[in-house]
């Protein structure tokens, strides 16, 4: 490895490194039940940027998780908040109380008031944008950075692939750092997005089988056995009832989700729940099913949320080994191109 190659990589993601305050501009994707203090601190300690997945946590649990993470690392990390959470304002208060340097707002278009509250409290706000027009709107609303996540990703996904989003957005968003996510499993791909103008990347699936991950052994084995074609998106049952697709390894839970959708849709059509509550019910379904798989190890009836990059996960490695491997691959790619 030559010094010039190291300098080239450093130059490509310098903006992302400066924004996050880290050695490597690699964010950990916020994965419910997985992105907790152990994995988050491990990513940050390895030079990346860990992100706590708040998910459906109440404020007191988030408070404890932030305290627990700070006990394991003195490096920067963030909290990912779901915008539709009924206690979003209280969760923001918890983040500000702990003087979180960065907060990620996900799961919907964040309210301008929430962005303003975080910024006034001293936090940098990172938002997800599935289209160029929305990225521009979020920047006008005060977003300090944007994540573009393609349909190859695990968990909740949009309809457009990472490569298309990158071409649609990277050439035109220069006001703030843009991080690319979805389908990134090697350093060569990471470097290529940096060359296109990205300031860094976000990875989730690649960290599931990290030694520091608390995922049940059965969950990790399912990932190591899985291939890209096994990671399928959930089916929307009724176009009148928009449900954000979820990508996961196919199993019995994939089939039971259709029944769960039907039940919620019937309640919605009967007027027993409004749209927001119905969407929250779906969100809670996935949170419960994910816990069943991640924590309890029930890989048949629990949700195995995974990106299509799962096919590249072949063994359990430390977080440091995963990140260092990506960086080495990126250096090599830049040395021959």
d(CA 16, CA 300): 39
CATH superfamily, domain 3-214+312-332, is Aldolase class I (3.20.20.70)
How far, CA to CA in Å, does 157 sit from each of 98, 125, 188, 235?
Answer: 30, 21, 23, 12
- Identify the CA nearest to 233 among candidates 286, 197, 166, 178: 286
- Identify the CA nearest to 187 among candidates 168, 201, 199: 201
What confidence score (pLDDT) does residue 240 get? 63
Domain residue ranges of the chain, discontinuous segments joined by +: 3-214+312-332, 217-309
Alpha helices in 153-274 (DSSP H): 162-169, 187-195, 217-225, 252-269
pLDDT in tens, the chain (337 residues): 444 666 899 999 999 999 999 999 999 999 999 999 999 999 999 999 999 999 989 999 999 999 999 999 999 999 999 998 999 999 999 999 999 999 999 988 999 999 999 999 999 999 999 999 999 999 999 999 999 999 999 998 988 999 999 999 999 999 999 999 999 999 999 999 999 999 999 999 999 999 999 999 999 999 999 999 999 998 777 666 666 788 999 998 887 877 887 888 888 888 888 887 887 777 677 778 889 999 999 999 999 999 999 999 999 999 999 999 999 999 999 999 8
What confidence score (pLDDT) does residue 4 get? 60
Q: Which H or E run includes 246? A: strand 246-249
pTM of the model: 0.92
Q: Are 47 and 23 in contact (CB under 8 A)?
A: yes
Which residue's structure tokens are 């080495």? 328
71: how many CB neighbours lie within 10 A of its CB? 10
What confidence score (pLDDT) does residue 259 get? 82
């Amino acid at each position: 490895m030559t010094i010039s190659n190291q300098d080239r990589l450093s130059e490509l993601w310098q903006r992302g490194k400066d924004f996050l305050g880290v050695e490597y501009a690699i964010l950990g994707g916020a994965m419910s039940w997985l992105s907790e203090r152990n994995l988050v601190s491990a990513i940050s300690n390895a030079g990346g940027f860990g992100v706590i997945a708040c998910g459906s946590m109440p404020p007191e649990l988030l408070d404890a998780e932030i305290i627990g993470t700070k006990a394991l690392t003195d490096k920067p990390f963030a909290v990912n908040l779901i915008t539709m959470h009924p206690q979003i304002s209280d969760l923001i208060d918890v983040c500000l109380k702990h003087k979180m340097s960065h907060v990620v707002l996900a799961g919907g278009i964040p309210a301008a008031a929430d962005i303003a509250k975080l910024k006034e409290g001293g936090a940098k706000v990172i938002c997800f944008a599935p289209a160029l027009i929305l990225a521009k709107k979020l920047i006008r609303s005060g977003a300090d950075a944007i994540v573009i996540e393609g349909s190859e990703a695990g968990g909740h996904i949009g309809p457009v692939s990472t490569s298309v989003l990158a071409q649609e957005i990277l050439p035109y968003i220069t006001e703030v750092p843009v991080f690319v996510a979805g389908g990134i499993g090697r350093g060569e791909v990471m470097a290529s997005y940096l060359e296109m103008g990205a300031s860094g990347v976000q990875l989730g699936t690649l960290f599931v089988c990290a030694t520091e991950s608390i995922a049940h052994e059965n969950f990790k084995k399912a990932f190591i056995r899985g291939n890209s074609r096994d990671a399928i998106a959930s089916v929307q049952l009724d176009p009148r009832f928009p449900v954000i697709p979820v990508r996961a390894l196919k199993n019995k839970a994939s089939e039971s989700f259709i029944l769960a959708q039907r039940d919620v849709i019937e309640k919605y059509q009967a007027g027993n729940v409004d749209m927001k509550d119905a969407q929250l019910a779906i969100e809670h379904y996935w949170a419960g099913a994910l816990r069943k798989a991640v924590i309890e190890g029930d890989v048949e009836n629990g949700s195995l949320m995974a990106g299509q990059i799962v096919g590249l996960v072949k063994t359990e490695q430390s977080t440091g080994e995963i990140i260092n491997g990506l960086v080495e691959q990126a250096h090599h790619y830049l040395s021959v191109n």
